[in-house]
Structure 1
């Protein structure tokens, strides 16, 4: 039996971990400013930016009204930078799915970055927080198609919620940084910069469908720590540990204020390689990553005695597995760059590939990719066009369980196999900080080939989804 002393030790573990982090950051010379230790660092600056470049702001298009009373400039001079982002869209399907119709969805985000060196003289410290106000009139993915793959990457349970809230300490030469607090994984792990133009580009279904509550990704975050090492501009290494279950966004963690600490952990690691544009002017990157969740997971086919869960003699209690894991690769490559164009102009492509054990995961293989053309429309240098695909395969045990249900005749069931989607989109840059984006997606085998509740014995029909998104950034 577990003693009360052991329970108390477990309860004190998170507090001890946080205290150790603060102690380490405050005394380790590697994290100190060179001037504080008296050492002279004669190495050249060689680190890549810790944060991606921010998108253009509509502030530049508003003239004197862009910064009333100079409030934003005043804060920026003290190391406080804030951004407002409003995304709204209309999406609808004219055919396929269990029903047809349109929805409106919107997300308003406030994000604040703080440079504590400029604000308070804390060398190497920075902070970040963002809050979402999510509003929609019904999720198209669930209402119309019962899809596994995301229709819109802003779709979430309507709520006002905290997302991230963290502090970060960087070493004097910025080659090392440690971030801790309320974190999401999809901001730094398993992501493609090229693919972010697409509405369906999101935290991949292989993690969203397999991990508890979808894992630490939009719109829910969870306490964690992330260590990043960037010795030079060509390589980075990241490792992070998260509380492994952020809680269901609609019922358990509706405001993002749960700060759960007692769930089994999720550990992620990624190595990033970047090719600095050479004589051809083309940039490329490769990311290799893996993750391990240390919780318990049900088998998708067998019970604890080895019988199929579809067998009438089965007790219905699924076999339990210790943990789950996955591996992935992400490639971004610029294929063509027009003469005089910048690093984002031209033709670029991306691909992501991932696999997970097929006995305990609904999705065991994931692949997506696409091509994006930017700055090549005559008279429209900021416009972009993209075409992408996504493929998600149902795990082998889940597929065989469907066949078992047919074999045992427990009920008529359509065996699942895969779900796929293609998307075409065009991004109009109306002005700096404002884009309008018409979009079309076609869904194949929605739900992995799930049965249509309106047509017993038949699969749900695929169909086209039309959308129009507007994004304002300030």
Structure 2
């Protein structure tokens, strides 16, 4: 498995790249009882025609439901309602979302090793990811099934570093969602990307706020994530600001994401060789910022994966799993009229069994400021530090094969998310990483990256 996102080494000109946004779906999250969008989508059919100022609330009621990952309102898209196309779709109970992201990276320091083999993102100029996702959601209230929605979508993904994943065009999601009238019970089933439904791996719950993920351990242990969706069902219970979400998911192939994609070109296979069931549960407290309350999201959870993962000690196969905890809290709220603006702090911790994982522990501290730069109310500045520990069994196995293997890795990243215009965000970042790959005696890396998010 490649090391977490280091970057190649060319220089500042290459820092101008593009991540066209993994982002355009605002969503009804687990906090459905408090989420105005979630409450509205089942009532859209009976509601009076919206006033122009309110029409984007009508569109936002038709975004993909049941996610913990959040995206800007559809008013924050390039097309918005050009030509009335979203209004026409909404009249039919259909919501349309597009998000595109491109991330490039390059290194500024000599690696101390030959150009080949290519072992990590950023060792050379890297297009880490370039993707386009299209999603359609249909409110079944139009046919008398209030509180229910069908989602279907496709995704295209490209990278020039093959260990990330093969280039692909495939089904992204196909799912049925339903909730009770009071919003306290939600069920979602189908082909799902559970990275968007559990844990909160994006800073502040949104992929446009900073560069990279807040943890790789859950993905290595079988949690589904774009461009890979797998059969799954999630059930969420709410009690005020507390939620409990539990689910069953067919694991991503224990042979890795590349093997999964090569064995299933379209994304429709129900099973994969050696892939078993992943049982997951998460308990959390989450409330949105308001004039009288700071934002808080605290969660703990874990999963057990009964797939057949090859052990690093050569003793056959074993199950996998992950335990995690994370918290994000709003420290300051300087403007009551913009309750979401302020300085935040967060932390995450992940643990996975040593026998079958390279990354066995990961700890992150982060701070980020939203809307604190004068005249830039949608911009975010982020600083985070990550410590990763590599498993003893994986280290011994690599060294027995005559390879240099690191025992740990530290990564400090600063990033700036700038809103360019409606639907376009640019995120330059700089990372300092010691032991950039797991194997190979590489010098510390200074890697620049640039991500462009684009939402139609």
- 1:135 corresponds to: 158
- 2:320 corresponds to: 324
Does residue 337 in structure 1 map to residue 333 in structure 2? Answer: yes
Separation in 2, partners of 1:383, 1:349: 16
CA distance 1:209–1:69, shift in 2 (3 Å): closer
- 1:455 corresponds to: none
Q: Which secondary structure does the structure 2 equivalent of 1:446 belong to?
A: coil
Separation in 2, partners of 1:169, 1:243: 21
What is the TM-score of this pair, normalised by structure 1?
0.72
Separation in 1, partners of 2:85, 2:335: 40
- 1:95 corresponds to: 109
Does residue 208 in structure 1 map to residue 219 in structure 2? Answer: yes
Q: Is the 8 A contact 1:382 1:428 kept in 2?
A: yes
Q: Root-mean-square deviation (CA), in Å?
A: 2.7
- 1:267 corresponds to: 279
Separation in 2, partners of 1:87, 1:356: 29
Separation in 2, partners of 1:57, 1:270: 28
Q: Is the 8 A contact 1:223 1:261 kept in 2?
A: no
Written as runs of structure 1 = structure 2, the 5 A alignment for 1:87-166 is: 87-97=101-111, 98-99=114-115, 101-104=124-127, 105-117=129-141, 119-138=142-161, 156-166=165-175
CA distance 1:374–1:245, shift in 2 (3 Å): closer
Q: Is the 8 A contact 1:56 1:432 kept in 2?
A: no
Could you tell me which runs of 5 or more consecutive residues in structure 1 were left unpaired when the two chains were aligned: 1-32, 34-48, 143-154, 302-317, 406-410, 452-458
Q: Is the 8 A contact 2:304 2:321 kept in 1?
A: yes
Separation in 1, partners of 2:323, 2:410: 20
- 1:44 corresponds to: none
Post-superposition offset of 1:289:
0.3
User: CA deviation digits over 1:398-444, x for unaligned, max 9?
Assistant: 234456x3xxxxx6432430123221111111222211222212221
Aligned residues, how many? 374
Q: Which secondary structure does the structure 1 equivalent of 2:125 belong to?
A: strand
CA distance 1:322–1:61, shift in 2 (3 Å): closer
Post-superposition offset of 1:58:
6.4
Post-superposition offset of 1:267:
0.6
Separation in 2, partners of 1:71, 1:61: 13
The equivalent position to 1:300 in structure 2, one of 308, 312, 323, is 312
User: CA deviation digits over 1:331-373, x for unaligned, max 9?
Assistant: 1111111133523211112211011222332222111231111
- 1:252 corresponds to: 263
User: CA deviation digits over 1:58-84, x for unaligned, max 9?
Assistant: 67776xxx5344221011122210012
The equivalent position to 2:86 in structure 1, one of 63, 69, 72, is 72
- 2:196 corresponds to: 187
Rg (Cα) greater in structure = 1
Post-superposition offset of 1:276:
6.1
Greater relative CO, 1 or 2 (CA 8 Å, sep 6+): 2
User: CA deviation digits over 1:240-270, x for unaligned, max 9?
Assistant: 1111235624411233122327841111100
Q: Which secondary structure does the structure 2 equivalent of 1:191 belong to?
A: coil
Written as runs of structure 1 = structure 2, the 5 A alignment for 1:382-421 is: 382-402=378-398, 405=400, 412-421=402-411
Separation in 2, partners of 1:321, 1:60: 47
Separation in 2, partners of 1:297, 1:171: 38
- 1:21 corresponds to: none
Separation in 1, partners of 2:371, 2:290: 20
Q: Is the 8 A contact 1:182 1:259 kept in 2?
A: no
Q: Is the 8 A contact 2:228 2:261 kept in 1?
A: no
Written as runs of structure 1 = structure 2, the 5 A alignment for 1:416-435 is: 416-435=406-425
Q: Is the 8 A contact 1:58 1:431 kept in 2?
A: no
Separation in 1, partners of 2:94, 2:404: 55
User: CA deviation digits over 1:73-125, x for unaligned, max 9?
Assistant: 011122210012222343222334453542445211111122111x2111221
User: CA deviation digits over 1:163-188, x for unaligned, max 9?
Assistant: 11100121222211211110121111
CA distance 1:255–1:391, shift in 2 (3 Å): farther
Separation in 1, partners of 2:82, 2:287: 42
Separation in 2, partners of 1:190, 1:375: 24
Separation in 2, partners of 1:398, 1:185: 27
Q: Is the 8 A contact 2:290 2:339 kept in 1?
A: no
Could you tell me which runs of 5 or more consecutive residues in structure 2 were left unpaired when the two chains were aligned: 1-41, 43-64, 116-122
What is the TM-score of this pair, normalised by structure 2?
0.75
Q: Is the 8 A contact 1:274 1:284 kept in 2?
A: yes
